[in-house]
Structure 1
């Protein structure tokens, strides 16, 4: 069995703030295999973007710090948490590429598209400017840009939002990274362009066999592209498993809530979409028990007192919920849960 491209163990990231410590990521563990697309989902503030940015050490330190005992092993040999900033600069772009959520603020308005794509190539690969520019044009072709020879000489303001996002993807792919992290890559785009960007990422993954982590709160995007899903809540992973298991056989009440808040094409849409009542806990003082207990209709006494371990549903599907305990009352998922993904 090949080694995973990425092994994250007990990742804890906190922010030192005036009022105390915000525990943004609280013991996240997962592996990512070569050529796999992993989606990390959850509502705003659950820690998914901090997790993604910590993988590239992009969260400003201070106020953030990675806590003792956290491990991010990349490519079987690089312990990301221990690398100097200088060494990280060699990894970013060359080994791990990142697509940020807002292409307008991430691109430099004073530089041409070609210059921005070739910047990473010139930094990490031993090639001249002409060769780098040629590669930039090829990358624009790869990401489905029309007239790439002209586009390389244009500036970001001359492109539409969807085109700018394609440029961001080209920059992230410039040095053939082993891992691509896409942080909410479709948030700022309209629905038709979103679909094109998701198709594009899927094509690129097939052509280049790159491993991809996609951070999103959009389960429609997840159903289209992911092989495996990590559901995060209040800085922790509450459920993880293959795409079909999470969509067809979810076992955590928070995952049920997420799935019920998504419109379905195959059901009676006269019913109102359900939202999850309440709001996520304050991560200055996280609850001692299950963080979801206060919002969970199935919460028992133990949920408020003790944080659940991960219970195995199957070999590669687990849920951190006391309902999975053999002594817990049997609870059926709400009506309409399961059956709306296609792998």
Structure 2
């Protein structure tokens, strides 16, 4: 098997604040293969966006700092060790990012064409006319109508879906090997969301680009991802293939996320379940399992000792004491991605 395009190893990222150190990312590890899409899911504040932005080295330093870990890109470059000048050659060229809100990410004073050509000229050292032609081609690739006219328009002249297509074109401008999409469909209506997901899938087939999708929308995950990483309180609590996470999940937090999604096969009068309680304070993370205070299955050991990862299969692991051979047998609840095991 070929070497992964991205290897994240024991990544720890903190923010130095007046009140102390916020431990936003606490030992995250995962791999991404060429041409693969992985989704990183979890509720707000779980560390998924910080992880993605650290890979691109976009988190402001200070107040953030990388405590430890490695981010090996393309088998040779440790992103953590690069200075800003070296990172500029990677960012936008070999890695692209689609941001959550295109209206605040695009420059309102520049035309769409000028924003796309800026990166092409910088990284590929081509003429202005060649870069402009490339901008038209990119807008056509992402499904924009009349791309020859769109390049002369400003962001405020476009709809939300069109601006998101421009963001994708910007991210693809230099044919990156890795594309990070941070909540790319959050501000869009359902019809446009489906179009953007179809677009990402189509582009991946054409370019063999690897994609990291950051989202809290499990419906979007089911449409595009091959593997899923579930994060909670700055840690990976479960990871596996799409089917393993949706139908064979082994962590109570994952069950809670799945039960909070509307299902077509459930009683239409039944209420959606929420996960009670609040995430822990990352100024002083708990000693044991971070989810223990909100977990209906928590045992004494959960509050005293971190479980580490139990390997369920070659592709599936979960950080939960319930997977220990001596733990009580708990079946997956009905509604948590399938039928109960019980």
**Corresponding position of 1:270:** 269
**Corresponding position of 2:18:** 18
Distance 1:76 1:290 in 2: 33
**Corresponding position of 1:189:** 188
**How far does residue 274 in structure 1 lie from its aligned partner after superposition?**
0.1
Which whole-Å deviations, capped at 9, do the CAs of 1:34-78 have from their partners, x for residues lacking one?
Answer: 00000000000000000000001000001000013x100000000
Q: How does 1:169-208 map to 2 (within 5 A)?
A: 169-208=168-207
**Corresponding position of 2:283:** 284
Distance 2:185 2:335 in 1: 27
Which whole-Å deviations, capped at 9, do the CAs of 1:53-106 have from their partners, x for residues lacking one?
Answer: 0001000001000013x1000000000000010000110000000000000000
**Does the 8 A contact of 2:94 with 2:176 survive in 1?**
yes
**How far does residue 268 in structure 1 lie from its aligned partner after superposition?**
2.0
Which segments of 5 or more consecutive residues in structure 1 lack a partner in the other structure?
none
Distance 1:265 1:317 in 2: 27
**How far does residue 270 in structure 1 lie from its aligned partner after superposition?**
1.6
Which whole-Å deviations, capped at 9, do the CAs of 1:184-226 have from their partners, x for residues lacking one?
Answer: 1111111111111111111111111100000000000000000
**Corresponding position of 1:32:** 32
**How far does residue 338 in structure 1 lie from its aligned partner after superposition?**
2.7
Q: TM-score, normalised by structure 2?
A: 0.98
Distance 1:339 1:227 in 2: 18
SS in 2 for 1:88: helix
Which whole-Å deviations, capped at 9, do the CAs of 1:126-167 have from their partners, x for residues lacking one?
Answer: 210111011100100110000001000101010001000000
Whether 1:258 and 2:257 are equivalent positions in the alignment is: yes
**Corresponding position of 2:58:** 58
Distance 1:327 1:206 in 2: 45
Which segments of 5 or more consecutive residues in structure 2 lack a partner in the other structure?
none
**Does the 8 A contact of 1:263 with 1:269 survive in 2?**
no
SS in 2 for 1:29: strand
Distance 1:7 1:305 in 2: 30
Higher mean C-alpha displacement, 265-274 vs 296-305: 265-274
Distance 2:226 2:332 in 1: 23
**Corresponding position of 1:332:** 331
Whether 1:226 and 2:220 are equivalent positions in the alignment is: no
Find runs of 4+ consecutive structure 1 residues off by over 3 angstroms.
none
**Corresponding position of 1:158:** 157
Distance 2:72 2:161 in 1: 33
**Corresponding position of 2:120:** 121
Q: TM-score, normalised by structure 1?
A: 0.98
Distance 1:258 1:232 in 2: 11
SS in 2 for 1:72: strand
Distance 2:142 2:250 in 1: 37
